[in-house]
Chains A and B, each alone.
Chain A
């Protein structure tokens, strides 16, 4: 359903090769259906189960699965393969989110936890995890954030202690975990010992005694089903500790940061897709704008094009093995901000009572605010950008210490 958008390729896509453009077009054609499903999810996020057979819901998950677990013959293999890189995920996610980001977030599938399993797990753990995901629709979660510490991986307080009869006991609380309360399987980051290398990632079946999940009422992006999770003496078997065969420096914390860096551009892509969709919606419903207002819209479109270009660039670099931490955080933060600014401008220029008369605008206006706080707030990423600025342009030592002291985490 391409009538939602302009025919020309969006500005800022010059880094895409032919296959990536084909992937973008394939996903763009899903936008209309995804938008309709997204409106239903805003009313009741659990209705996703009614749509699990639809190709628009099934395709975006395929590229997150290892090749041997993908659906055979259902989708063009070259497009599924194209969507399995970080750049491919970004391209697909932007177009899918142009339709509606809630569908992707509400869908069963590997989410970030699948990335952790791919990065850390041994063969048996991979088989158990992905085998279960492909045998029946399975929601998963990635539990890092804690109530008092946010997503600061090195400061987490959930504990993993030896159980009297062997194995481990998991205790603690996680907060704002996507799909946590409705998942059947997840990865929990926890502390086995002091220090950064004392962090572990464990696979958890949510039917385990001592696990409980509670949905949190979010303002928007309800498909994410953010939750608070509690672990009270949850038994964890040795074989559920991910990557136990690896050295401590190559498992828990390594897995968390590896995944966050790889998935963060995807959050930027969601924000970009929503921002572009909001601007296109305005143009459709108010094609003639006064010159001053057209300038304001064009200014937002300039920013969308710029952050799209930069997001594609950092994603391409990650695929090439170059992880620019500050650059990744910067595109996420800037995309979140432009999405918020775009929806606010659209709500203003559509006129009085548009947040009542245009329900999709009201929903998107709420949804995009989530992108600022997903995977680290803007302040956190701003400090990372600042530290790189110092490294690149100033005498590093004394000032860097101030920068670290001034860093904020939410």
Chain B
């Protein structure tokens, strides 16, 4: 399979739904990529006629796939899955920078929270885990659906730990928490390694 497009569409803080639209456009120009389950997730701008749902206020629309969709399996879907993980990783990287700045501006007693040993250790651990995920060799990281799902779960872990460090501001929909929630939902739809077969 082809490696992920080296996109960094959210470097300037682009809202995640618009990042998602960019990924759709790069992987399947003029079309939207459907998940293996037959869903299409894109911004409310790209899917203006999609029914309103709980994610609409985050700017994300959900629609059923149509014959025009780039459908759920094959090279386009693989490239899209890889690009989703790249975008998630970049979002986490930006959130890490945001968290460092945020904690530098918060004080407890006479010091910033950033100077607290507990906080510093957690931030360092997060940075290491993020770097580690990036360092997983391509052939292994994108070996298949299971590998991509493992990577997604690692990224979700990192994101949750980062948001905890942001305290209550890590729960605001118009900050990193909103975008990271969408990345988690999109991963659940496009990247999930189906375990249904294991029911036997």
Give A residues with C-beta under 8 Å from B: 42-43, 145, 148-150, 152, 155, 175-176, 216-220, 226, 286, 288-290, 292-293, 340, 344, 347-349, 351-356, 359, 362-363, 366, 369-370, 372-373, 377-379, 382-383, 405-410
Instruction: Encode B100-125 as 1/0 by CB contact (under 8 A) with A.
Output: 00000111110001001111001000
Shortest Cβ distance from B186 into A: residue: A355
The 5 A-B pairs at the shortest CB distance, nearest first, are namely: A410-B167, A352-B192, A353-B37, A176-B168, A217-B173
Question: Does more than half of chain B's interface fall in helix, strand or loop, or is it mixed?
Answer: helix
Interface residues, chain B, with chain A CB atoms under 8 Å away: 35-37, 39, 41, 53-55, 57, 62, 105-109, 113, 116-119, 122, 153, 156, 160, 163-168, 170-174, 177-178, 181, 184-185, 188-189, 192, 194-196, 198-199
Contact A406 B117, CB 8 Å, known A290-B199, A353-B37: yes
Q: Closest A-chain residue to B37, C-beta based?
A: A353
With A352-B194, A410-B165 given, name 11 new contacts (CB 8 A).
A152-B108, A155-B109, A217-B172, A217-B173, A217-B178, A218-B171, A290-B195, A293-B198, A349-B195, A351-B192, A356-B185
Contacts of B119 in A (CB 8 A): 379, 408
Tell me if A219 and B171 are in contact (CB < 8 A).
Answer: yes
Which listed residue, A149, A292, A408, touches B116 by the CB 8 Å rule? Answer: A408
Residues on B with C-beta less than 8 A from A219 are 171-173, 177-178, 181
B173 contacts across to A, CB distance below 8 A = 217-219
Q: Does the CB pair A406–B116 fall under 8 Å?
A: yes
Let me know if B39 and A353 touch, CB within 8 A. Answer: yes
Asked if B181 contacts A366 (CB within 8 A), the reply is yes
List the B side residues contacting A370 at CB < 8 Å: 171
Q: Which of B35, B39, B54, B192 has the most CB of A within 10 A?
A: B54
Q: With A352-B192, A406-B117, A409-B113 in contact, is A148–B167 under 8 Å at CB? A: no
Q: How far is it, in angstroms, between the C-alpha of A344 and the C-alpha of B154 when the chains are bound?
A: 12
Q: Given the complex of chains A and B, what is the CA–CA distance between A237 and B122 in angstroms?
A: 46
- Chosen A-B contacts, 30 in total, with CB atoms closer than 8 Å, are A43-B54, A148-B105, A149-B108, A150-B167, A216-B172, A217-B173, A290-B195, A347-B188, A348-B192, A351-B192, A353-B37, A353-B39, A355-B184, A355-B185, A355-B188, A359-B54, A363-B54, A366-B181, A369-B163, A369-B177, A370-B171, A373-B167, A377-B164, A377-B167, A378-B164, A382-B118, A406-B116, A406-B117, A407-B116, A410-B167
Identify which of A288, A347, A383 gathers the most chain B CB atoms within 10 Å of its CB.
Answer: A347
CA distance A377 to B174 in the complex (A): 20
Please give, as numbers and ranges, the residues of chain B lying within 8 Å of A43 by CB-CB distance: 54
| Residues A148 and B107 in contact in the complex (CB < 8 Å), given A218-B172, A351-B194, A355-B185 | yes
Q: With A219-B178, A290-B199, A407-B108 known to touch, is A369 a contact of B171 (CB < 8 Å)?
A: yes
Contact B113 A353 (CB under 8 A): no
The residue on B at minimum CB distance from A176 is: B168
* Complex Cα gap A344–B53 (Å): 21
CB distance from A60 to the nearest CB of B (A): 23
Bound: A175/B119 CA distance, A: 22
- The CA-CA distance from A387 to B174 in the complex, in Å, is 36
User: Which chain A residues border B184 with CB–CB below 8 Å?
Assistant: 355
Q: How far is the CB of A342 from chain B (nearest CB, A)?
A: 13
Assess the A408–B118 pair: CB atoms within 8 A: yes
Which of these, A220, A372, A406, contacts B118 with CB under 8 Å? A406
Task: With both chains docked as a complex, state the minimum distance between the C-beta of A29 and any C-beta of chain B, in angstroms.
Answer: 27
B168, A353: Cβ atoms closer than 8 Å: no
Q: Contact at A290–B167, with CB atoms within 8 Å?
A: no
- Cα distance A175–B168 when bound, in Å? 9
Once the chains are docked, how many angstroms separate the CA of A63 from the CA of B37? 47
Q: Which residues of A contact B108 (CB under 8 A)?
A: 149-150, 152, 155, 407-409
Contact of A226 among B166, B168, B185 (CB under 8 A): B168
Q: Nearest chain-A residue to B174 (Cβ)?
A: A217
Q: Which residues of chain B have C-beta atoms less than 8 A from A344's C-beta? A: 156
The distance from the CB of B150 to the nearest CB of chain A, in whole angstroms, is 11
Identify which of A293, A356, A362, A372 contacts B39 (C-beta below 8 A): A356
Q: List B contacts of A216 (CB < 8 A).
A: 172
User: A353-B188, A407-B116 in contact; A340/B160 too (CB < 8 A)?
Assistant: yes
Residues of A contacting B55 with CB < 8 Å?
A: 362
Distance to closest chain A CB from B107 (angstroms): 6
Question: What CA separation (Å) do A226 and B174 show in the bound complex?
Answer: 13
Question: Which residue of B163, B172, B174, B189 is within 8 Å of A352 (Cβ)?
Answer: B189
In the complex, what residues of A have CB within 8 A of residue B62's CB?
Answer: 356
In whole Å, how far is A75's beta carbon from the nearest beta carbon of chain B? Answer: 33
The answer on a CB contact under 8 Å between A149 and B107 is yes
| Complex CA–CA separation, A148 to B194 (angstroms) | 44
Q: What CA separation (Å) do A44 and B167 show in the bound complex?
A: 24
CB B77 to nearest CB in A, in angstroms, measures 13
Chain B residues, Cβ within 8 Å of A410:
106, 113, 165-168
Structural contact, B172 and A359, CB atoms closer than 8 A: no
Shortest CB distance A350–B (Å): 9
Chain B residue nearest to A154 (CB atoms) is: B109
Closest to A409 in B: B108
A348–B189 CA distance with the chains assembled, in angstroms: 11
Q: When the two chains form the complex, which single residue of B109, B163, B192 contacts A353, counting CB atoms closer than 8 Å? A: B192
Minimum CB distance partner of A374 in chain B: B168
- Selected from B116, B118, B153, B189, the residue in CB contact (under 8 A) with A355 is B189
Query: B135: shortest Cβ distance to chain A, in Å?
Result: 24
> Of all chain B residues, which has the CB nearest A287?
B199
